[in-house]
Amino acid sequence: MSLMIPDYVVDLRRGIESDEIVPYFQPLLELRTGQLIGFEVLSRWKHPLRGMVPPDEFIRMAEDAGLIGQLMEKVLLHAFSTMRRLPEYLRLSINVSAIQLRDRTLRRQVCLAAEQAGFSLKRLTVEITESALVGNIEHARTITEELKALGVRIAIDDFGTGYSSLRHLHALPFDEIKVDRTFVQTMLSRRESRKIVAAIIGLGQSLGLTTVAEGVEGEAQADMLLWMGCDLGQGYLYGRPVSDKRLERFVLEQKKATRREVGRPPNSEDATFQMDALPSQRLSQLQAIYDGAPVGLCFLDRNERYVSVNKRLAEMNNAPIVSHLGRTVAEMIPEFYVFLGPYIKRAMNGEAFSGLVFRAARADGVVQVRSTSYQPTRDEAGEVVGVSVAVVDITERESAEVALRESEIHHRYAVELSPQVPWTADAQGQIIEASPQWTVLTGLGRDESMGMAWTKAVYPEDLVGARERWTHSIKTGELLDVEYRVRTTEGKLHWMRARAAPRRDDSGQIIRWYGTLEDIDDYKRAKEELREAVARLHGVFDAVPVGIVIAEAPSGRIVMGNPQAEAILRHRILETPDVTSHEEWVMFHLDGSRVATEDYPLVRAVVRGEASGAEEFLYLCGDGVKRRVSLTAAPILGQEGEIIGGVVTIQEGKD
């Protein structure tokens, strides 16, 4: 009798030996402060033919084939070495499987890898699932006690999904309890899940364990978990698992984000403002993404003239953007205006419409079906100043339903909200210039705002603190970051945040202070709008019948991919590395020759700012089959015309 070794075992062994199995890292945050505290290691198989293979598909296989030890060794060494490059306070969690809990070599393996990588085991948490404990308690106890003696923390994973959980909790010396993601994900919609989550958190608290919620995908869940007293959160809201390469950047960005948090004093070594993620700026980035998205957008003034038009709409109207500006809808698309006119007039009177479907033949004879939405836009006084329009070309759409859903989007949020009031002060802290917005806000005249006169608008209770902080900054040169209330023209109190940084001359003397004042009430509102905008954006992307992938420039990091793209390419998109460096986005020309990475449409868009029309390729899909796809890419440009990203749409080609 001959022993047959199945193909997949041979493949897996080869994969392990050639370092195709790598750790990805998913962040864990403290819910109360939003601070990053560490990462969980989740293994990924970067398969040369199958693309990214998820752990559910190979961990079990490795266990069955007796390869789990070897796999673990590689992953641990890699993960520990990565962590050594990150700040000491960041922790690492790893998963061990049932088989490993029976295996007395686990302890030695962990020790060896830690020693080799110079990683302190005090930073390590080992996660054990409930199901791994079943029928295995005695062994598990010995092993966990050995690990604990080394300073390792032990977590019980997927809590609530196994059997006789309470007995397990009692039997082993756990430090942490992780609420399974299935409960967290449904806790907003299902009362039972909510109760289970609350009960597990309560249980953890009464046993003195750190409680962790996994699968946190939205702010509402995070708020509820915080309110229930949960300590840590993990989930897509805070970050998907990322590769070691992107980890360091993630940690840096995270630091910035936490520092920006309201009420947190800035770090004095930080010499410039970190304003890149202010809502108004993020909104304009979003708008840029909209320019690249397959939705036509424009803004009409009260006279039904185009004030702004995005590229997509210009294409639909078969005319360049500039020839729209200043002209009326009736002039530009008379064939549609016959139907649309009355709705535009009603929108100017304050009514909103979504998903109006019309069919017409364009001047060049092309028949188009369009789904159009109108959203009146108002000024501060509530007067309608114009109408925002979103148009989807549904000519080739089979399902009118999808179109209706898509056309729900409005782009009110694309309108700039700028809550910033810039100001300048001299070295003594006397204001020498402030934006007119200060006058609009406070009703104080220009002269009343110079020097130290700004204090007149500050709410008396906050004045002493604000002045002290300002004086301190002027003396020490430290960045200013202070919050206080001002009384607005309408007599309302608004919370404001003032920040300033000094500008020095060549000898290091401070010569100016550059500051901004920000209405935090507005900030909060803008943040809320941004969240809605992002949700809608996701809505559109998930509903369109083409694949869409968006990458950031210049890194090529994938920031968005819709389910259709994953369905066509048959691999996960967000978890694949940068498109510019990724060896697994493999494509061929129709003649069979390989496409060089720099010639991928998305790479051309991101790197060179090139747009490309529908080009056909053979794409090596995640399942190893080459399929014909049609790719259309465009760069995403920022306000100054700089390339901030690229978008590619993917359609299945006809074979």
Rounded to a whole number of angstroms, the minimum distance from the CB of residue 214 to ligand C2E is 6
Name the helix (H) or strand (E) containing 16. Answer: helix 7-17
Report how far residue 317's alpha carbon sits from residue 332's, in angstroms, rounded to the nearest whole number: 8
Rounded to a whole number of angstroms, the minimum distance from the CB of residue 131 to ligand C2E is 10
Count interface residues toward ligand C2E (CB under 6 A). Answer: 21
Rounded to a whole number of angstroms, the minimum distance from the CB of residue 197 to ligand C2E is 14
**Residue 447, contacted partner among ligand C2E, Ca ion, none, CB below 5-8 A by kind:** none
Question: Interior CA angle at 295 toward 294 and 299, to 5°?
Answer: 145
Of 25 and 484, which has the nearer Cβ to ligand C2E?
Answer: 25
Report how far residue 582's alpha carbon sits from residue 53's, in angstroms, rounded to the nearest whole number: 15
Phi, psi of 440 (to 5 degrees): -60, -40
**CA dist 121 → 40, 173, 229, 417, 532 (Å):** 15, 17, 28, 48, 42
Query: The tokens 């800035």 sit on which residue?
Result: 266
The residues in 190-229 that bind ligand C2E, with binding defined as CB under 6 A, are 214-217
The catalytic position among 214, 304, 518, 575 is 214
**Which of 367, 353, 364 has its CA nearest to residue 396?**
367
**Which of 622, 626, 615 has its CA nearest to residue 648?**
615
209: amino acid identity, one letter:
L
Rounded to a whole number of angstroms, the minimum distance from the CB of residue 182 to ligand C2E is 9
CA dihedral 213, 157, 151, 72 (to 10 degrees): -120
**Residue 645, contacted partner among ligand C2E, Ca ion, none, CB below 5-8 A by kind:** none
**Residue 236, contacted partner among ligand C2E, Ca ion, none, CB below 5-8 A by kind:** ligand C2E
Tell how strand 232-233 and strand 36-47 pair up.
unpaired
**CA dist 407 → 83, 376, 621, 632 (Å):** 46, 15, 31, 22
Strands (E), 346-467: 353-361, 367-378, 384-393, 420-426, 431-434
Are 390 and 297 in contact by the 8 Å Cβ rule? The answer is yes
Of 124 and 434, which has the nearer Cβ to ligand C2E?
Answer: 124
**According to the 3-state scheme, what is the secondary structure of 107-152?**
HHHHHHHHHHHCCCHHHEEEEEEHHHHCCCHHHHHHHHHHHHHCCC
88 given a catalytic annotation:
no
Of 127 and 519, which has the nearer Cβ to Ca ion?
Answer: 127
* Residues in contact with ligand C2E, shown as a per-residue x/- string from 135 to 174 under the rule CB under 6 A: ----------------------xx----------------
**Residue 215, contacted partner among Ca ion, ligand C2E, none, CB below 5-8 A by kind:** ligand C2E
Rounded to a whole number of angstroms, the minimum distance from the CB of residue 95 to ligand C2E is 4
Of 218 and 653, which has the nearer Cβ to ligand C2E?
Answer: 218
Of 127 and 552, which has the nearer Cβ to Ca ion?
Answer: 127
Phi, psi of 11 (to 5 degrees): -65, -45
Of 47 and 469, which has the nearer Cβ to ligand C2E?
Answer: 47
The residues in 13-52 that bind ligand C2E, with binding defined as CB under 6 A, are 26, 42-43
* Residues in contact with Ca ion, shown as a per-residue x/- string from 104 to 133 under the rule CB under 5 A: -----------------------x------
Name the closest residue to ligand C2E (Cβ). 235
- Which residues share a beta bridge with 458? 486
Encode 48-77: b = buried (16+ Cβ within 10 Å), e = exposed. eebbbbebeebbebbbebebbebbbbbbbb
Residue from 26, 43, 82, 95 in contact with Ca ion (CB under 5 A): 95
Q: What is the spatial order of strands in the sheet that 367-378 belongs to?
A: 306-309, 296-301, 384-393, 367-378, 353-361
Residue from 157, 176, 518, 552 in contact with Ca ion (CB under 5 A): 157
Of 44 and 411, which has the nearer Cβ to Ca ion?
Answer: 44
Report how far residue 210's alpha carbon sits from residue 200's, in angstroms, rounded to the nearest whole number: 11
* Residues in contact with ligand C2E, shown as a per-residue x/- string from 80 to 109 under the rule CB under 6 A: ---------------xxx------------
Rounded to a whole number of angstroms, the minimum distance from the CB of residue 10 to ligand C2E is 21
Residue from 38, 204, 233, 241 in contact with ligand C2E (CB under 6 A): 241
CA-based radius of gyration for the chain: 29
The residues in 306-335 that bind ligand C2E, with binding defined as CB under 6 A, are none
Of 39 and 523, which has the nearer Cβ to ligand C2E?
Answer: 39
Residue from 66, 236, 400, 445 in contact with ligand C2E (CB under 6 A): 236
Binding site for ligand C2E (CB under 6 A): 26, 42-43, 54-56, 59, 75, 95-97, 157-158, 181, 214-217, 235-236, 241
Residues that bind Ca ion (CB under 5 A): 95, 127, 157-158
Q: Which residues form the catalytic set?
A: 214
